[in-house]
Amino acid sequence: MAKKSLTHLNEEGRARMVDVGGKEITAREATAEAIVSMKAKTMRLIKEGAIKKGDVLAVAQVAGIMAAKRTPDAIPMCHPIQITGVDINFRFIDDEHLVIEAIVRTLDRTGVEMEALNAAATAALTVYDMAKAVDRGMTVERVRLLAKSGGKSGIFKREER
């Protein structure tokens, strides 16, 4: 059985940043999500804009966008890329769960999966930070890639949501 090599390791087995210089520039998009689980009272306060630190969703939205742009600063082997768009969406699925969806787009040589994941996770952590005074038991759950398109590997779409 042939041993598959990892692209982020050099011949000596040490970490390296993959050279994407020879790859074609294509339109790429990735969608990721994170879920914040909280008490119903906390959710109500967020919806009513009654959290003392301010508008939780507005701050989380900006934090997610900023995180997408700063992903290479947090993920060592991530390439700085030209992000062309970031959307952060919020959906209340019941009285205790907030879904945060991050969609990131680029025209570049490498994908934006890490940017989308970082955006969703950071927006979720920001919700926690903004509301922790009323609910320290909140959890950030299921940070995951939902879909990606573009590039050599083509399309990925998670079957179950």
Q: Which of 55, 73, 129, 135 is catalytic?
A: 129
Q: Is residue 5 classed exposed, middle or buried when 0-12, 13-18 and 19+ CB atoms within 10 A define those classes?
A: exposed
State the CB neighbour count (10 A cutoff) for residue 35. Answer: 18
Active site residue 129: yes
3-class SS at 100? Answer: strand
92: enclosing H helix or E strand: strand 83-92
CA distance 143 to 121: 6
Among residues 22, 27, 92, 103, the alpha carbon closest in space to that of 61 is found at 103
Up-side HSE of residue 104: CA atoms within 13 Å toward CB? 30
Q: Which residues are catalytic?
A: 129
